[in-house]
Amino acid sequence: MDKTFSIADPNTAPYINDATNNLKIELSKRGEDPHGIMIPNDFKYPLEKVCIKDAYLEFNNWGQSSVTSTDWYKKPVSGKVYE
């Protein structure tokens, strides 16, 4: 990764390109629901129809304040994620 990369810089921030519908889906702004989450290591995805907040009980804490519950993604609820 380029050393000048910054998730806060709109010129280098990641996005999803929906070629089918010709849409560019960018990162959410403060207060908006996330369209995607970048996880720094292995991640157990929630099962189909399981909300991430139910699969990871500390997710909402982190969502409200990014300095709390910073390791929420390391604490999946058994039976709520793909093993």
Question: pLDDT tens digits, residue range 48-72?
Answer: 999 999 999 999 998 888 789 999 9
Tell me what percent of the chain is helix, strand and coil, each rounded to the nearest 5. Answer: 15, 10, 75
pLDDT value at position 51? 93
Structure tokens at 57: 């009980």
pLDDT tens string 8-25: 777 777 788 899 999 988
Where do runs of H (alpha helix) occur along 1-83? 52-55, 59-64
- Better-predicted residue by pLDDT, 42 or 34: 42
